[in-house]
Amino acid sequence: MSRTVLVSGASGLIGTALVPYLRARGDRVVVLVRRPTRIDDEIRWGPATGDLPEGTVDGVDVVVNLSGAGVGDKRWSEKRKKLLVDSRVDPTGLLARAIATSSNPPSAFLSISPLGIYGQDRGDELLDESAGFGTDFLARLAAQWEQAADPATAAARVVLCRTGMVLSNKGPLMAKFLPLFKAGLGGKLGSGNQWMSWISIDDEIAALAHLMDSSLSGPVNLVAPNPVTNAEFTKVLARVLSRPALFIIPRFALVIRLGQEMADGMALVSHRARSDLLTSDGFEFSYPDLESALRHVLGR
């Protein structure tokens, strides 16, 4: 059954994969843009100023909110942190309020959210959607982000898609890792004991499409069923690339490069998340293990 899907943040890593996927299966996709529109299926908006044309969400079947500046793109200055919060909270709140007051609201509002909401270091704890929140910067950002979606619950099914590390050959993660590993300079970060919950870009897109038709609401972890430690991730990536990975990048080097808050909140974060809720709803992962996922996204 074809549907009309409204997407914000369509120019990002997930959006650039989701939009063509939905169109290829026959859905009409309308994209929110901040520049002048170029095609009919674009609507110009200004989330920072609360500018959303009246009736934008009316008659739409699903709204997918992917808005947000890149968390790992730049060091976290106070100015950058404000941008990271505002670029998520403002668009989410604007869309949620529009849905809540719509005369013909969408049936579902899918809003992306990070595993960072659980806090930067949960050790070996298995994290399902009932796990408590952290208190560090990313956890506070994520909590504000999810809270901004609350108004939409008055009119639509709201799904908070808590996404793990997305594996893609176009993503910022691979842009940082691949040159080092291809040069034989790859290695684990810090102790390497921290857990990494990941998902292939293909399964991320398929999971979002699944949730459009699901009856699930509230938070849903979008992670593959087999998280790995950083040491294991390093070992598997090196094997896929047929390169050694003998180095250890100590915490102090990461702090010098990224700053303490960003190093602890991103490079050394430990999330061992579960995807039981998603799989019990009937979703099947195409790439449930790390090696198959990496070989697929890297063409190896």
pLDDT tens sequence across 27-67:
999 999 999 999 899 999 999 999 999 999 999 999 999 99
| The total number of residues written for the chain in this structure | 300
What is the value of pTM for the model shown? 0.95
CA–CA dist 183, 142 (Å, integer): 35
Tokens of 128: 């399902």
CA–CA dist 72, 181 (Å, integer): 19
**Phi, psi for residue 77 in degrees, rounded to 5:** -70, 165
CA–CA dist 14, 54 (Å, integer): 27
Indicate the pLDDT class of residue 218, thresholds 50, 70 and 90: very high
So what's the pLDDT on residue 246? 85
Angle of helix 137-147 versus helix 78-100 axis, rounded to 10: 20
**Cβ within 8 Å of residue 41, ≥6 positions away:** 28, 29, 30, 31
CA–CA dist 272, 127 (Å, integer): 6
> How far from chain centre, in Å, is Cα 205?
11
Q: Which amino acid is at 272?
A: R
pLDDT tens sequence across 77-115:
999 999 999 999 999 999 999 999 999 999 999 999 999
pLDDT at 227 > cutoff 90 = yes
pLDDT tens sequence across 129-157:
999 999 999 999 999 999 999 999 999 99
In CATH, 4-298 is 3.30.2320.30: no
DSSP 242: T
Q: Element (H or E) spanning 277, and its range?
A: helix 276-280
CA–CA dist 120, 138 (Å, integer): 8
Alpha-carbon dihedral angle through residues 106, 138, 17, 28, given to the nearest 10 degrees: 10
CA–CA dist 2, 44 (Å, integer): 24
Of the candidates 207, 239, 224, 216, the one whose C-alpha atom is nearest the C-alpha of residue 272 is 224
Query: What value does the mean pLDDT take over residues 274-287?
Result: 97
- Ranges of each domain in the chain: 4-298
